[in-house]
Structure formats: structure tokens, C-alpha cells
């Protein structure tokens, strides 16, 4: 007779971390750590507030302390023995690389706590690694995994119901109850902070919805398959699942998948959908053939990456006018539009406004006297219809001009210490050519990711090994690259605080060593899950939710998450569930190896 499963209290931190953290939503105020953040819409004199990320980062820290105390108690009372695995090696290297990146960072305050609205600094990353270590050692058998997954499915149900309310234009967080949950006694209004029709659930960014669902969809699909299959009757009956209860589970699982499909549609995230597709392909291979042929996993992963890259280029080819660069100097602005150079020069002595081409030949020359507010169409050398110059005199009696690009108006002023561009924050800044790498003609690829990647990749050269510090991209990214933003069809007031790729985020934040260690960690864990089962599956394993298959199904979801990570960044909203699933998969594989 099958031994009755007894729930272990040591799983509570894992369940809180994996199944509940992503649901937390609460308004909290904070101040940023830096005074001089030019081109960014905040400074340390401002009191800011956050709804989604800060509360989750605080919960991650609290749960990690809880888990540390629990682990200490279990070790002292000899209720647990630490598992032995080589997986600790890349985990340790990754942790050390993150710490070194913090020590070597020029922005330690932000590297420690994380950027505004993100809060994924070194403190949070160290919690990730400790909770992974704890999960590996706290989870001991397949029933533990089932308990954690069951709790997670419950959390996903709550999140998807909230997502459904957002899809139907009745956002739960804009109701009286929802608003009170978010704001508490802070008095912060949530009106206008959320978006109608689009689904963001409790994870803030629509992209994160499909990213974390990569983990849960394969498990639900497998559960539905498991409950429906007739040859699982004996196993189901041994677990007390038969008759109406089995039908109820089939109905619930099917409805969950339908609800998730609606949320995926409303979230509109192609990257996450591709990840789910790859996960389901891998799971199908697992179900069809238990013994893996050499290279199948690598081939599927490669195919997923190729799909993302092709989509980036095919779907994101730039069609609008391109500003190749803008550079300001003393009484001049140099720019290139669709390869045609334009030099705008102000002659202070003669009060003349001169436009010249790449050969320094004058296109037009205007005298400011009596010309303020007049529009001058640049109609030569391929620039016809692309730019209009509108001179003006500001309230400080300085001469300037608007470069009207039809869908954007660039404001320049000739100051005593050089020509300045006036940005959306009314700051006067000098502009220069921005270094870039790749994606020429595809800056708008994948909702502007081509632009972000092309400007982030050159940053790796300076600190390839150690990185600039976790979550510090907003301080090193060329936020004043208004030419690139315009060409990528982005708002000129936008600022970049993340590279929209987990791998690029690690490389630039915590260094290439941390990225290699992370990939090694993932590779070792997935290898343990996907390696062929030894011997034939016995009845005990059948009764135990097919022990040799479920870790592979979880691993398929992890692969899907990693594929989605090519075009989505790490976040406190999704990483706890990811590391929770990875940890319990590894725990079962380590014990059965």
C-alpha cells in the first residue's frame, strides 16, 4: 500500500517564493540613489513610488532570511542532509562573479538595490542563488514537487483571473477592493497607471506574462494528458483520483489552459509565445520517445534561436526616415538623414544661418533678422520633404531652430559654450555620435530591441569580465542618442533601463563570467533532466506521477523560458518562479541519479 504523503514545513519558503511572490502588488515610496542622472526623468530630490517590483524584491529578501533560518534549524536537528552535486560549482562561480561585479562597479548604490522600478540588484540576485540552493535541498521527492506545482497553479489561476478582468476592461486593480489592496494607507492614486484591455496581471510588463507562463503551460498540458490517458487508471486510483474527481481535474486543467490562452492573447508578447512553442515541442518529443537521441535537444534549442533572430529581422525592417547621427559643436549641428549629410551652422558675426551639404557647399543661407518663426524647406540633395528648419529666438535672446521631421520636432539653441539640444525634460545637452553594433536598418526590430541591443553591445568592450554592476544599465546606456530613438520609432523621451535580453543583461551587468556560469548551470541541470532513464519504469514510479517524465516536462518549460529570455530581461516578477522550478527539477534528478 502506498505510503501517505506528509507535507513538510520546510517546503513553505519554497512555496511562498515560487507560487506567491509574483502575485504581490503594493504601492511603496522610495528615493533614487544618484543626483546626476541627466536625460532621466527623476533625481534624488524626488519621492517616487512603485507598485510591482519593490514589494516583490522585499518579499524575496524576507523569504530568503526565513529559508536560511529554516535550513539552519534542519541542519542542527539533523533533519536534513545537504545533497551532493556538481551543480553547486557553476552556482558558486555565478555568485562570486556577481559579488565581484559589485565590488568593481562605479555605481555601487544602484548595483546593490537595483534600478528604479526594477530593484534587481546584487542583493536580490544573491537571494536568487540562495533560494536555488535551499530548494535543491528542501525538495526531496516527487510529492514535494507536486505540492509546489499545485500551489503555483493556484497562484497562476489568481493572476490569470486578474488578467481576464483587465482584458474585459474591468481591471480588478481599478475597483474599490483592488485599489485598496494596491495603495493601502499611502493615498497613492492608481488611476492612469494601468492600461485598458492589455493584460499585465500582477507582473507589470505584458512581456513578463507570457515569459512565466512558459514554465506552467507544459506542466498543465502534461497533467491533462496524464488525467485523460486510460492506461493511467491504476496509477490514478492508487492516488485516490478516480470517477468524478478525475473528471473535475480534467475540466479544471482544460479551463486553466483556456484561461491562459486568453491571457497570452491579451499580453501580445511574441517572444513568450515562441518560448511556449519550443517548450511544447520538447515536451512532445519527451512523450513520444523516452530515450533521447543525441543532439535532439540542441537541435530544438538552435531552431528556437533561429526563429527569434529571423523574426527580429523579417518583422522589424525599418521603413521610416533614418537619422544616422546628430552631433553638436560650437555654433553648429551636424547630422545625417538617410545617408545625406546636413550641416547647420550659425555665423554669429554676420547673424547668418547657413545649411551645407557633405561637400561643405551651401544649400541655403538665412539671416535671422526678420526670419523668426519662418519655415525653411530643405529641398536639395535627397532631403526634400524630410526636414524643415524653423528658426526662433528664445526668452534669453539666444538664436535657435527647430528641425521638424514631420513626426518629431528637434529643438536646438546656440549657446555661448556650444550648441545644445533641448530634450523633453527641458535640459540643454550636447549630442555626439553614438557607437553601435549591428541591426543597421533593423533598429525597430522586435519593438525596438534591435536599437537597444545595437547600443548595448559596444558597452561590453570596457568591462567585459566584471560588468558595470547589476541593474545599472540606465546609467551607462547612451540615453542622449535621440537620433537612434527617432530612427527606431521610439519616443524621444523614452529611457532604457534594461537590455530586453537575460543574456545581454548578465553580460553587461555582472560580466561575461557570470553569463558563462549561468549557462553552465542551466546546461548541467537540463542534462540531468533529459538524460535517458536507466532501466524500465516500475509500478511505483507510475504511481508516483511518472517520476522519470515529470522532471523532463518541467525542464521543457525551463528551456522555453530560456528561449523567451533571448528577447526578455530578468525581473523580480518572474525569476522566483523560474529558479523555484529549476531547483525542484534539479532536486529530484540529483536524488534519483
Residues 6+ apart with CB under 8 A from 487: 318, 320, 321, 322, 323, 324, 443, 444, 451
DSSP string, 404-461: E-SS-EEEEEEETTEEEEE-TTS-EE---PPP--S-TT-TTHHHHHHHHHHHHGGGGG
pLDDT, position 521: 97
CA distance 215 to 281: 14
pTM of the model: 0.89
pLDDT, position 541: 45
CA distance 252 to 436: 50
Contact between residue 473 and residue 495 where contact means Cβ atoms under 8 Å apart: no
CA distance 399 to 195: 41
pLDDT, position 293: 46
pLDDT, position 1: 43
pLDDT, position 543: 40
pLDDT, position 577: 98
pLDDT, position 43: 72
Give the cell for residue 570.
530578468
First and final C-alpha spacing in the chain? 25
SS3 content of the chain, % helix, strand, coil (to 5): 50, 10, 40
Give the cell for residue 531.
538524460
Residues 6+ apart with CB under 8 A from 450: 312, 316, 439, 442, 443, 444, 488
Residues 6+ apart with CB under 8 A from 557: 214, 215, 216, 217, 218, 219, 279, 581
pLDDT, position 13: 97
Q: Three-class SS of residue 200?
A: coil
pLDDT-flagged residues of the chain (< 70): 1-5, 33-38, 44-45, 185-196, 230-243, 288-319, 361, 364-373, 379-381, 532-547, 593
Amino acid at each position: 500500500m502506498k505510503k501517505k504523503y506528509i507535507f513538510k514545513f520546510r517546503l513553505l519558503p519554497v512555496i511562498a517564493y515560487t507560487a506567491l511572490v509574483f502575485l504581490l502588488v503594493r504601492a511603496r515610496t522610495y528615493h533614487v540613489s544618484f543626483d546626476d542622472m541627466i536625460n532621466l526623468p527623476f533625481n534624488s530630490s524626488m519621492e517616487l513610488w512603485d507598485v510591482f517590483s519593490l514589494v516583490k524584491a522585499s518579499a524575496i529578501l524576507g523569504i530568503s532570511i526565513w529559508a536560511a533560518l529554516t535550513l539552519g534549524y534542519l541542519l542542527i536537528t539533523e533533519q536534513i542532509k545537504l545533497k551532493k552535486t556538481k551543480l553547486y560549482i557553476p552556482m558558486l562561480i555565478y555568485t562570486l562573479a556577481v559579488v565581484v561585479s559589485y565590488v568593481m562597479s562605479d555605481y555601487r548604490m544602484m548595483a546593490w538595490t537595483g534600478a528604479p522600478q526594477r530593484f534587481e540588484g546584487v542583493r536580490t540576485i544573491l537571494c536568487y542563488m540562495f533560494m536555488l540552493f535551499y530548494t535543491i535541498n528542501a525538495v526531496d521527492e516527487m510529492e514535494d514537487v507536486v505540492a509546489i506545482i499545485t500551489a503555483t497553479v493556484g497562484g497562476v489561476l489568481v493572476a490569470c483571473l486578474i488578467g481576464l478582468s483587465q482584458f474585459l476592461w474591468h481591471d480588478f486593480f481599478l475597483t474599490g477592493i483592488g485599489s485598496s489592496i494596491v495603495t493601502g494607507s499611502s493615498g497613492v492614486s492608481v488611476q492612469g497607471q494601468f492600461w485598458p484591455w492589455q493584460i499585465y496581471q500582477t507582473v507589470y510588463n505584458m512581456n513578463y506574462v507570457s515569459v512565466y507562463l512558459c514554465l506552467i503551460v507544459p506542466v498543465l498540458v502534461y497533467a491533462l494528458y496524464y488525467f485523460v490517458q486510460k492506461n493511467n487508471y491504476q496509477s490514478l486510483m492508487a492516488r485516490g483520483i478516480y470517477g468524478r474527481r478525475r473528471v473535475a481535474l480534467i475540466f479544471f486543467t482544460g479551463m486553466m489552459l483556456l484561461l491562459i490562452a486568453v491571457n497570452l492573447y491579451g499580453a501580445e508578447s511574441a517572444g513568450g509565445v515562441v518560448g511556449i512553442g519550443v517548450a511544447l515541442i520538447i515536451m512532445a518529443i519527451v512523450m513520444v520517445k523516452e530515450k533521447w537521441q543525441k543532439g535532439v535537444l540542441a537541435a530544438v534549442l538552435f531552431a528556437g534561436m533561429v526563429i527569434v533572430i529571423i523574426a527580429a529581422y523579417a518583422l522589424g525592417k525599418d521603413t521610416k526616415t533614418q537619422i544616422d547621427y546628430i552631433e553638436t559643436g560650437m555654433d553648429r549641428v551636424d547630422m545625417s538623414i538617410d545617408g545625406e549629410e546636413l550641416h547647420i551652422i550659425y555665423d554669429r558675426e554676420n547673424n547668418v544661418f547657413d545649411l551645407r551639404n557633405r561637400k561643405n557647399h551651401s544649400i541655403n543661407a538665412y539671416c535671422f533678422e526678420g526670419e523668426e518663426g519662418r519655415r525653411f524647406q530643405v529641398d536639395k540633395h535627397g532631403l526634400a520633404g524630410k526636414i524643415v528648419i524653423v528658426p526662433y529666438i528664445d526668452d534669453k535672446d539666444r538664436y535657435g531652430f527647430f528641425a521638424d521631421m514631420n513626426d518629431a520636432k528637434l529643438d536646438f539653441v546656440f549657446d555661448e559654450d556650444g550648441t545644445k539640444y533641448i530634450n523633453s525634460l527641458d535640459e540643454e545637452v550636447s549630442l555626439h555620435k553614438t557607437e553601435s553594433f549591428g541591426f543597421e536598418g533593423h533598429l525597430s526590430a522586435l519593438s525596438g530591441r534591435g536599437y537597444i541591443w545595437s547600443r548595448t553591445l559596444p558597452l561590453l568592450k570596457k568591462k567585459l569580465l566584471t560588468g558595470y554592476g547589476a541593474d545599472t544599465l540606465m546609467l551607462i546606456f547612451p540615453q542622449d542618442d535621440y537620433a537612434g530613438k527617432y530612427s527606431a520609432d521610439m519616443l524621444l523621451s523614452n529611457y532604457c533601463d534594461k537590455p530586453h535580453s537575460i543574456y545581454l543583461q548578465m553580460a553587461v551587468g555582472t560580466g561575461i563570467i557570470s553569463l558563462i556560469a549561468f549557462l553552465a548551470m542551466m546546461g548541467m541541470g537540463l542534462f540531468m533532466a533529459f538524460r535517458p532513464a536507466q532501466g524500465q519504469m516500475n509500478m511505483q514510479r507510475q504511481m508516483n506521477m511518472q517520476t522519470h517524465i515529470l522532471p523532463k516536462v518541467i525542464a521543457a518549460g525551463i528551456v522555453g523560458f530560456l528561449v523567451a529570455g533571448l528577447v526578455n530581461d530578468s525581473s523580480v516578477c518572474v525569476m522566483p518562479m523560474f529558479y523555484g522550478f529549476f531547483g525542484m527539477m534539479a532536486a529530484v534528478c540529483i536524488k534519483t541519479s
